[in-house]
Amino acid sequence: MMAKGRNSFTWQLKFSLILGGQAFSLIGSGLVQFSIIWWLTRETDSTVILSLATITGLVPVILLSPLAGVVADRINRRLVMIMADAFVALVTLIMAVLMILGYQPIWLIFILLFLRTAGSAFHQPAFEAAIPLIAPEIHLVRTAAVTQILRSAISFLAPLMGAILIEWLPLAQILLIDVVSAGIAILLLLPSHIPSVSQSDRAGHPLAGYMQDMKIGIQYVLRWKGLLALILVFGLSNFLLAPVLSMMPLIITRHFNGGAREYGLFEMALAIGVITGSLSLSIWGGFKRKIVSINIAQIICGLGLAGIALVASDRFWVVLVLIALCGLCSAYINSPATAIMQAKVDKEMQGRVMSIVTVVCMVSMPISLAIAGPLANVIGLMPIVYIPGLISTLIGIACFMIKPLMRIEDRRAAGPDPAALPAGVPEQPGNAAF
């Protein structure tokens, strides 16, 4: 049942304002991220520097996401997003001023990358955890799909815009664009009221209290077998698919005799697939049993990836069709999975659970890439595509046999057994706000 006062117009207006703030925040971040990487490429021409820049962008998320999840559960989530955007804007403004004054050593760029990513690590779980406090449960798949459309569109457009701007403007001026976009994001968030989650029993505690909350979040996931299985499937999927996308430029050039144009078409086809799938979900809402949609999409996506290895070198258009299908399937995996967690995880635990998902996915990627690079030199590039694809298909099939995972949407499976919960974890998961 919908909470009093949460009529359709009210929640949609709140969601639109928050998503609008997210849009400006992502646009600015995308422009700056691309521009910094290209600036480093142009200034250093060093693969080592670029690799270090990538690692610098991953480390803060891995290290800070658990703490960020606790903060999102302890403090009003709107305030966390505003503070994160303000921090990123301040750091970027300082860097822009220093560069305008002619002070731009490489080490300072790395500090900028680290601090900007640290701010984003706090913004993301707060955003994800705020949505179920606003939108009715029945619409969570649609809100997740609309959010994914936005992110896919920005991830597609931001590099193009950054490539244009970096040729016309110095890096310092592009950094100022991000400061403005962060300011607009904050202005859009200011009038948006997001209910606070009651934490009165632990509010005001020192660092030990935060560490205890973090421990409770980890225990919450470990004791809820269905949620743990869903998160592990996410992490394993990232582990398997990261090398496929990272090796694709080499596959295109060596096997399909393509170049930058073909790689650009590949990226566009993937983005179009994600946007198409997300758009269909935003209109339709998806299957009643979201976990069934996730498993079927996992199977089809794996088969699509494996099929790329069978395509003849003069049939690159088939690769574009297959990768668009994979993109569509990814929308039918990510949006329903997000909706399940937003609907069934306790509102008091949303930030911590979302941050654990982020950490698992982010940690799996560099490990996978470190293994795949040397392995590709031994077994070749195509096995790096079809082996993960086939394993992904098998994972999708196996998920139908994991009972806790298949029951994750049942009300009884909306959380762990209350008797097994550690102290401080609420006993009634998921549906109190509805």
pLDDT at 304: 93
Angle between helices 8-44 and 140-168 (to 10 degrees): 30
CA distances from 211 to 202, 216, 222, 323, 424 (A): 12, 9, 17, 42, 13
List, in order, residues 6 or more apart from 242 with CB less than 8 Å away.
364, 365, 368, 369, 372
pLDDT at 12: 82
Cα end-to-end span (Å), the chain:
5
Closest by CA to 286, choosing from 430, 144, 185, 74, is 144
Q: How far is 334 from 238, CA to CA, in rounded Å?
A: 12
* CA neighbours closer than 13 Å in the CB half-sphere of residue 190: 8
What are the structure tokens assigned to 288, written together? 């009643």
User: Angle at CA 158, nearest 5°, toward 154 and 159?
Assistant: 130
pLDDT at 207: 54
List, in order, residues 6 or more apart from 182 with CB less than 8 Å away.
24, 25, 28, 85, 86, 88, 89, 92
User: Angle at CA 359, nearest 5°, toward 230 and 193?
Assistant: 85
CA distances from 201 to 209, 333, 358, 420 (A): 11, 36, 27, 20
**Residue 402: DSSP 8-state:** -
pLDDT at 317: 92
User: Angle at CA 327, nearest 5°, toward 113 and 356?
Assistant: 50
Q: What is the DSSP string of 236-253?
A: HHHHHHHHHHHHHHHHHH
Q: Per residue of the chain (434 residues), what is the pLDDT tens digit? A: 334 444 556 788 888 888 888 888 888 887 887 778 777 767 776 656 766 776 777 788 888 887 888 888 888 888 888 999 999 899 889 888 988 888 878 888 888 888 888 888 888 888 888 888 888 878 888 888 888 788 877 777 776 777 778 778 888 888 898 899 889 989 988 887 777 765 544 444 455 566 787 888 889 999 999 999 999 998 888 888 877 877 787 788 888 888 767 776 887 788 888 888 888 887 877 778 889 989 999 999 999 999 998 998 889 999 999 999 999 998 899 888 888 888 888 888 888 888 888 888 878 877 877 787 788 778 888 888 889 999 999 999 999 999 999 999 884 434 444 334 444 444 333 332 22
Structural contact between residues 166 and 174, judged by C-beta atoms closer than 8 angstroms = yes
Q: How far is 375 from 371, CA to CA, in rounded Å?
A: 6
Structural contact between residues 331 and 199, judged by C-beta atoms closer than 8 angstroms = no
Structural contact between residues 255 and 313, judged by C-beta atoms closer than 8 angstroms = yes
Q: Which amino acid is at 83?
A: M
Quickly tell me which residue has 């029951």 as its tokens: 407
Quickly tell me which residue has 């399940």 as its tokens: 340
What are the structure tokens assigned to 213, written together? 């909350």
Helices (H) and strands (E) in the chain, counts: 14, 0
List, in order, residues 6 or more apart from 166 with CB less than 8 Å away.
34, 35, 38, 39, 174
Closest by CA to 321, choosing from 268, 388, 386, 248, is 268
**Residue 423: DSSP 8-state:** T
